[in-house]
A and B are shown apart, each in its own frame.
Chain A
């Protein structure tokens, strides 16, 4: 009686991971693992190195890459392939799926010198349509979580055998990752782990137990020394067990083959099913920012296709598909600003490369499309240097402002809206009631403070502008004029109408956008109120050195981004970060000014973490308007020339 044990270690760092984290994980985890692997190269272990990680190693740690290559030459290890940028296959366009699989496979061949036979599915997000593509990409097998097998009606015994699944005539072998052992190894004692393996024995070792999980568990999430000691001890221990047969998936399949045919519903590991709500694309509905990146990706794709973009543009595009920024589970995911920032950088770069010289120097192009697939039209204004995306149905706000200049690719509206996560319930946290983007109008109740605004004190906005559907027109000069007639509801019996007229102007070649806001008293009586304009701006988060951005008010008051600032009579906020030109937010008149960090609170592997996302700015204009009188302000956002 024997148990077959398949031990699969998955190495991954997201595209856009900051350098100092890469250094740390290398030291703590990868180098440790490398030592242990070198000591145990005669054991047939299974390894997966993600595409983004291999590219980072190539760029920053060529020694480590070379060391791995050498190790593989002289070991019993089997190396799996993956998608090029560790992208979730179910949320990317059909044609991209095959490209991702093929490019991912080639990357492994090129950088590690081995030909992978099995596919490590990113986040193990399975979809029943995948077999055709996986087979086409040249793989023999794929690893899927046992929860998916159970959902397909398999029994516990079946889960420890290999199967075939099929879609549209394409077939692929499937092995299941055992959830139980993931909770034991490396967290519990050797005896518990080995006891579990013992219970899975079968006459010829046809039952396998497949452990498949993250390399970073060893040294990064778990103390380096303890992890090293545990793993080294574990390998020593299992070497001597005569009923335990260690195999790779390929050798297992060669010996024991498959049991039969199975059809597997969409799914992933148990926790992922919980976080996503049962189906990975639901994240796109849960986080407006995920959806924004995803739809920007689809939009850029359509440009690449129509402009017959070169491979450089496509490579940038594929990098933007790396999964980490699109969701949130145990790690920050979508809450990590630098990950979103990187997605935008790659997409904007792809877009710029594709556009090439097609943009005339004096050209501004306006498109009306349902960019975010919500059934309403958005207005996309594009020049050679900037993209400004406007959402009339959400307060007429600006929700994306891309700098397209080479080397400065950045979405100045890479902001984050704070939603009520299950783990934030009961903490006193109040979620944002509107998307934290720019050019949203409010009329605050008297005595509203900067904290009321940042922390969403209920009912402080006495108007109905913020969430209004603005009526818009794209004028022949390509300015976008949006209008909404809202009300000051302070006196509920007699609300006062105010018409807001907001005009966005993007001038060709300039690196700034100008927004004119005209407030008009639509009553026959005087209106005494505070007219407020809210902006949220994402500084460029540094990736090389951990230095927080700062801001300067009126060229005078220098503040760290985590500080708040209130001033009675200001006009300008300049945002500085070490790896980017200064971002300038400037009003043509002075007013009361609030500046505050917009911080999120997210669960990470190290507990609840407050995370700086973007800088919130509010210009407040206390004013008395005579009947029919108008008040106009002009605000410019841009980067320093």
Chain B
């Protein structure tokens, strides 16, 4: 197959704009696709970056400003002007942005040669915000008489958003356009109007109808008929569906080396050891580093949320939302993510209260990205940190200076999501040697191997979703495994492991946790790399030509 050109349509993408997992996937896969011979462009809305001059405007068509940006061998088409410059990525003007984004795509396609960018062979849209843009592109080429382009729609997180006729019209898409659509019985020529009718405007179903291939991030999410793809798209379209797992570019040795580069001397000084162990690093993190966040950290993009949090926190928070270090070493349990109902941070808070009463060794470190609309969860997090200062620290926002250090020094990661299409954070946790206690939902069921079934080849424990008791129980069990490894008297801790299967594993090998850490690292590094993701995607693309 000759080198194809892919246009990724996405609403966010690192390194320019990243809010959640979505911003991670297109660029990471693209980078690897390039290595497989693809030419890749990622087209994203500006969200203010052109306006602020972070990316230079190279062309203006009507009211659309176009910027080009290069990130390694991946090219970005940044589309700005008007509402697209609104800094709040998913703010109240989101729908206007979605429409403007779709309309602007046509302007760009008109200017391809002037912009010296290559015409796409494959248009790969990510999530519901890009569906309108996908249809805009498809109808654009249909009107031009060239229908050899292929369309891929990828769902990272389903949505119940519904497109209306009005939005199509505003985006400049004629509903009468007849175009080629892949239906279960084969390709058919139908109007956009008919697709809108078939899908009831439901964005994900519409995207799935228009696309030649539907991609999502895990089997469990694909076949989940409640919140997953099947539930939104409908079973009859799943014949188009393919799985492309997400990945991570984190590598254990690289992270360890980088942490040692930054902190090695201090850790050695603090611990008095030439070769500090993982628990030495943890002790240093908990008792020192946590109290020394970088100058501008934590970074909270949402200014209202930041102001609100600053107004309610007391020690162990500092006024600038930095934190006091812990007072005593313990078993470090990590959680990271956006504050959202989906992420189950409220379930985690409940589990924390239960778990620490059973095991005073537990130290919870939570990196939580706050948004103003989720104040109730913010309150819960602040409260648990206030009430249990010996056991809980919450960092609101990003703290890049210690983020990877925290991972490499932690003992356990906890992922209490109510639903989770994939869950990249679990990969980051595992690749840094942390077994994951996760809800038995979505991608977790494929990325995590349950230790109860796989023994020391396992990489975590899958627990019943929304059950803080079970979550607490397994956090405690894994913590006891850590303590059995670290303490002079392992039996004191082995006896407190509640799950008999886990207890038996440690009875046979009190150092089981060390083997499990190895399994975590190995699993991710061998299976869940972006290179693997790109290969899976390459297979999908190849089916189309």
Q: Footprint of B on A, CB under 8 Å?
A: 366, 368, 469, 471-474, 476, 481-483, 485, 497, 499, 501, 520, 522-524, 627-628
Contacts and interface: CB of A to CB of B under 8 A. Distances in A.
A523 B324 contact: no
B330 A522 contact: no
Contact of A481 (B316, B328, B356, B388): B328
Given A471-B360, A471-B391, A485-B390, A627 B315 contact: yes
Nearest to B315: A522
23 contacts: A366-B492, A368-B495, A368-B496, A469-B357, A471-B356, A471-B388, A471-B391, A472-B360, A473-B328, A473-B330, A476-B489, A481-B328, A482-B360, A483-B390, A483-B391, A485-B388, A497-B314, A499-B389, A501-B390, A520-B327, A522-B315, A522-B316, A524-B314
Most buried by B among A366, A469, A474: A474
Q: Does more than half of chain A's interface fall in helix, strand or loop, or is it mixed?
A: strand
Nearest to B487: A476
A501 B388 CA distance: 12
Contacts of A628: 315, 324
Contacts of B387: 485, 497
B92 interface: no
Most buried by B among A471, A522, A627: A471
Given A471-B391, A472-B360, A522-B316, A501 B487 contact: no
B357 A523 contact: no
Contact of A473 (B314, B316, B324, B361): B361
Given A368-B492, A473-B361, A522 B391 contact: no
A627 B495 CA distance: 40
Contact of A483 (B324, B360, B496): B360
Contacts of A476: 486-489
In order of increasing CB-CB distance, the 6 nearest A-B pairs are: A473-B360, A483-B390, A471-B360, A472-B360, A473-B361, A522-B315
Contact of A485 (B359, B389, B492): B389
Contacts of B330: 473
A524 B324 CA distance: 13
B110 to A, nearest CB: 59
Nearest to B388: A485
Q: Does more than half of chain B's interface fall in helix, strand or loop, or is it mixed?
A: loop
A481 B388 CA distance: 15
A304 B324 CA distance: 49
A368 B357 CA distance: 13
B360 A523 contact: no
A524 B488 contact: no
Contacts of B486: 476
A628 B387 CA distance: 15
Contacts of B359: 473
B268 interface: no
Contacts of B488: 476
Interface in B312-341: 314-316, 319, 324, 327-328, 330
B271 to A, nearest CB: 15
A501 B496 CA distance: 23
Interface in B454-509: 486-489, 492, 495-496
B455 to A, nearest CB: 27
A500 to B, nearest CB: 10
Given A485-B389, A524-B315, A628-B324, 10 more contacts: A368-B495, A368-B496, A473-B328, A473-B359, A476-B487, A497-B386, A497-B389, A501-B390, A522-B314, A523-B315
B510 to A, nearest CB: 14
B388 to A, nearest CB: 7
Contacts of A469: 357
A302 B135 CA distance: 77
Interface of B: 314-316, 319, 324, 327-328, 330, 356-357, 359-361, 386-391, 486-489, 492, 495-496
Contacts of B391: 471, 483
Contact of B389 (A366, A472, A522): A522
Most buried by B among A472, A482, A483: A483
Nearest to B356: A471
A481 B360 contact: yes
A501 B390 CA distance: 9
Contacts of A524: 314-315, 319
Nearest to B319: A524
A523 B389 CA distance: 11
Contacts of B360: 471-473, 481-483
A501 B495 CA distance: 26
B318 to A, nearest CB: 9
A474 B314 contact: no
A476 B484 CA distance: 11
A629 to B, nearest CB: 11
A368 B495 CA distance: 10
Contacts of A501: 327, 390
B357 A471 contact: yes
A321 B259 CA distance: 62
A501 B391 CA distance: 12
A175 B316 CA distance: 71
A471 B327 CA distance: 14
A485 B314 CA distance: 13
Contacts of A523: 314-315
Contacts of B319: 524
A633 B104 CA distance: 71
A240 to B, nearest CB: 73
Contacts of B328: 473, 481
Nearest to B327: A501
B32 to A, nearest CB: 45
A471 B496 CA distance: 16
A482 B328 CA distance: 12
Contacts of A483: 360, 390-391
A471 B314 contact: no
Nearest to A471: B360
Contacts of A474: 492
A473 B358 CA distance: 9
A481 B326 CA distance: 15
A258 to B, nearest CB: 52
A284 to B, nearest CB: 25
A473 B316 CA distance: 20
A473 B331 CA distance: 11
A485 B389 CA distance: 7
A501 B360 CA distance: 12
Contacts of B314: 497, 522-524
A319 to B, nearest CB: 32
Nearest to B316: A522
B482 to A, nearest CB: 13
Nearest to A496: B314
A473 B482 CA distance: 14
A476 B389 CA distance: 22
A474 B495 CA distance: 14
A486 to B, nearest CB: 10
A473 B483 CA distance: 11
A497 B385 CA distance: 12
A348 B359 CA distance: 30
Most buried by B among A473, A474, A501, A523: A473
B391 to A, nearest CB: 7
A461 B220 CA distance: 55
B536 to A, nearest CB: 45
A250 B387 CA distance: 70
B179 to A, nearest CB: 63
Contacts of A627: 315
A483 B363 CA distance: 13
Nearest to B386: A497
Contacts of A368: 492, 495-496
B473 to A, nearest CB: 15
Nearest to B358: A377
A470 to B, nearest CB: 8
B220 to A, nearest CB: 36
Contacts of B496: 368
B382 to A, nearest CB: 13
A167 B488 CA distance: 50
